[in-house]
Amino acid sequence: MIMSAYFDYLSGSPLDPRVLEAMMPFLKGVYGNSLSSHALGREAAKALKVSREKVAAFIGASPDEIIFTSGEVESNNLAVKGLLMVHENGQLLASAVEPLSILRPVEALEKWGFSASLIPVDANGQVRLSALEKLINRYTKLASVSWVVAETGIVQPIEAIADLVKESTSVPLHCDASLAARLFPVNVRDLNVDALTISSEILGGPSSVGALYLRDGLRIQPLLEGSPQEMGRRSGRENLAGIVGFAHSTELTISERQSRFNKLKQLDGYLKARLKEIPDLIINADLPSRTPGILSCRIEGLESEALLTHFDQAGIYASSGSPCASMIGKPSHVLKAMGFADQQASSSLNFSLSWETKISEIDEMIDTLSQSVIQLKTMTF
């Protein structure tokens, strides 16, 4: 496998070697069960407690408000199903650009009396506050808005959304802050959210580990039931090595977030400038509020899949949207919600960077992109 340039960090990110080092004692030695009362169990329970404190501190929560999960998708499913199913019936109000792990779970609950109402977004993917205000009603049992839209990097006005929801209702607000947390300090009290998803991999931690913050006192119906782990809110043997790694990645993020952000801003500026050299290339939703390091663009008339094939041959890895969207073979629901025509959506390419991305990777990608565009346009026209 040749790998020259990787621009698919939102789909998969490497484990920080320092995090792996922190995990090793739990892969090699400590195997006690945190529920066991003997010393080996207490050792596991202590590592779990310390990790919980670190993850709580990362988002300004109390340790008891942290539920460890198997990642973003489980946290989102737990938030949606768990917070709806404590009611007899009701409605989820979700932004039209939420990830599928927010939108899909409600579909399954339709026959039990639950439904979803989508908050429309503007052409840049930002939630229309006036629409949100009109949509909230007495059937609304949960609102959910992700802080950063995965495909376009657009930042939602989450504080204004929280103010609006909290001002007039007692509806709990969930926020998927997985992507936001790698770039911005997250504080659940300042944000005034009731539930919040964070995830390990994007922070340089192991994959398949995450957490749901749940405000103290908020009732939730667990997804996984049985043994009393996570104060009965998520049963099952904890992924202790993974949780320890996740916690370490949050500590590293706190100390390095500003420098990572600066690095990403610089790389993003360079990427954007170089992309503008490509004739007819349009950057999707290019607002000042776009997160550095997540960039969606399109060259109208060119299918992104054709470009990705050229890229792949040259060892350049990007994506045509969320991995899910490309797998399903449907145009991205995010771009559609922003008013894109099918053809515009299917000509869209996604670049996601890491603070470790190199300028030379961007240059290499731009070279391949320029050549591919010329070749493909010759074939098309």
Residue list 203-242, contact with a second copy (CB under 8 A): 206-208, 221-228, 235-242
Ordered alpha helix ranges (H), 59-146: 72-84, 100-108, 129-135
Q: How far apart are CA 180 and CA 183, in angstroms?
A: 6
Taking the least distance from each CB to a second copy, the nearer of 63 and 185 is 63
Question: Of 19 and 119, which has the nearer Cβ to a second copy?
Answer: 19
Other C-beta atoms lying within 10 Å of the C-beta of residue 254: 14
Residues 6+ apart with CB under 8 A from 85: 109, 112, 114, 221
Residue 13 in tokens: 């990110």
**Residue selected from 51, 55, 65, 72 as contacting a second copy according to rule CB under 8 A:** 72
Catalogue the active-site residues.
324
Question: Considering beta carbons, is residue 90 or 165 the nearer one to a second copy?
Answer: 90
DSSP β-ladder status, 210-214 and 66-69:
antiparallel
Q: Which position among 90, 105, 292, 321 is part of the footprint of a second copy (CB under 8 A)?
A: 105
Question: Any contact of residue 70 with a second copy (CB under 8 A)?
Answer: yes
Of 77-96, binders to a second copy (CB under 8 A) are: 77, 85, 88
- Min dist. Cβ of residue 369 to a second copy (A): 15
* Of the candidates 220, 177, 184, 216, the residue with the CA atom closest to the CA atom of residue 200: 177
Which one, of 218, 204, 164, 162, lies nearest residue 187 by Cα? 162
By CB under 8 A, what part of segment 326-345 binds a second copy? 326-328
| Min dist. Cβ of residue 367 to a second copy (A) | 17
> Which one among 22, 32, 121, 152 touches a second copy, defined by CB under 8 A?
32
Closer by beta carbon to a second copy, 193 or else 243: 243
Distance CA 248, CA 47 (A): 11
Closer residue to a second copy in complex, CB, 162/320: 320
Residues from 291 through 310 that contact a second copy (CB under 8 A): 305, 308
Residue 209 CB, nearest distance to a second copy (Å)?
8
**Stretch binding a second copy (CB under 8 A), from 39-47, 131-139, 334-342, 372-380:** 39-47
| Strands (DSSP E) found in 70-127 | 90-95, 114-119
Give the dihedral sign, CA 174/180/182/183.
Answer: negative
CA-based angle 165:145:185, to the nearest 5?
95
Which residues, 6 or more positions from 360, have their beta carbon under 8 angstroms from its beta carbon? none
Does position 58 interact with a second copy (CB under 8 A)? The reply is: no
| Tokens linked to 176 | 């998927």
376: contact with a second copy by CB under 8 A: no
As measured in angstroms, the least distance from the Cβ of 299 to a second copy is: 18
Residue with smaller CB distance to a second copy, 104 or 272: 104
